[in-house]
Amino acid sequence: MMEASIAQSRMLRGRTIIMMTVDKNLISMEKVADSGQCFRMSVINGGIELFAYGRRLFISRNDEGDYALDCPQGDFDGVWKDYFDLDGDYAAYENSVPAEDEFMLAAVSYGKGIRILRQEPWEMLISFIISQRKNIPAIRSCIAKLCERFGEKIEGGYAFPTPASLARLDEAALAECSLGYRTGYILSAARMVDSGDLDLDSLYSVDYADMLARLMAVPGVGPKVARCVMLFGYHRLEAFPRDVWINRVVDTHYAGNFPEQLYPGFAGVMQQYAFYYARSFKI
DNA sequence: GCCCAGGGAATCG
DNA sequence: CGATTCCATGGG
């Protein structure tokens, strides 16, 4: 049984810094950063920088190759452990692939170490409204502009903008973030959430169909974007978003119909392996 | 310059 | 119903 995390301390400029280590076999931070489910996690000068929940997290590797998270144990226990879904049993997901499904076997093998993050629903809602008809680098660029212009300044960068901070803008101000025709969608979503018309916190406790309907009531949110919010924000692992890459996979290898029923309650995890594999090899 | 991107809404048949 | 068309912008 590998350890999920161990607290370590080291000295830096005369101060004691607490680092949390995460077993390298438990998760691949590099694959997660490149998996298309998050847009504010990037590999930079010898480590990985991540912004979420109003914080910046820097991740490096120690001599054993395990991950060192530059955060106190309280943040790890209260935020990052669940954020990275370190308690999830991904071996069970991977082992559920039928022996005859060569595509999913290859996808699971290639993507080993990917996990479905628990991100903030509000950030997922805005991020995936932006995502429509954009490639991932362009999505990241738009979100970076949003954060720099309208997010709160925090140490090392900017937080994701709050609903209130976007709701009070006009379209001209938002349009500077290269949102194109999505500008009105973003503004509507921000005002719905800020006014309380859409209570994102209350959605944690509603069932699949209700959550899907409530999210799709937002202008610019259709079946695909709603399922991305459900999967990456609310951790509804049964949600199976179909984008252009997944549609190509499903058409090519599954005659237009992916066998979601083989993965009860976690088809979305398999979707993520398939997406990462397909996009990496441009299948 | 060209093609396309983690789609959705409006329109048409 | 399903199929088609338009949408703004920038990355590769």
Mapped onto helix, strand or coil, the DSSP state of residue A69 is strand
Q: Which one-letter amino acid corresponds to residue A106?
A: A
Nearest nt by C1' to A279 Cα: B6
Output the pLDDT for position A45. 84
Output the pLDDT for position A11. 67
Mapped onto helix, strand or coil, the DSSP state of residue A92 is helix
| pLDDT tens, N- to C-terminus, chain A (283 residues) | 455 677 777 666 666 777 899 999 999 999 999 999 999 999 998 899 999 999 999 999 999 999 999 999 999 999 999 999 999 999 999 999 999 999 999 999 999 999 999 999 999 999 999 999 999 999 999 999 999 999 999 999 999 999 999 999 999 999 999 999 999 999 999 999 999 999 999 999 999 999 999 999 999 999 999 999 999 999 999 999 999 999 999 999 999 999 999 999 999 999 999 999 999 998 7
Q: In whole angstroms, how far apart are CA A280 and each of A31, A34, A135, A246?
A: 11, 9, 13, 12
- Integer Cα distance of A172 and A170 in angstroms: 6
Burial of A112 (0-12, 13-18, 19+ CB in 10 A): middle
- Integer Cα distance of A166 and A151 in angstroms: 9
Of A28, A30, A33, A67, residue with least CA distance to A51: A33
**What single DSSP character describes residue A97?**
S
**Residue A79: CA atoms inside 13 Å, Cβ hemisphere, count?**
18
Output the pLDDT for position A3. 56
Q: Is the CB of A134 under 7 A from strand B?
A: yes
Q: In whole angstroms, how far apart are CA A84 and each of A33, A214, A237, A272?
A: 11, 26, 14, 15
Output the pLDDT for position A202. 98
Chain center to CA of A177: 21
Output the pLDDT for position A1. 40
Output the pLDDT for position A133. 97
Output the pLDDT for position A15. 65
Q: Is the CB of A243 under 7 A from strand B?
A: yes
Question: Can you read off the two tokens belonging to residue A10?
Answer: 């080291």
Nearest nt by C1' to A181 Cα: C8
Q: Is the CB of A131 under 7 A from strand B?
A: yes
Output the pLDDT for position A10. 66
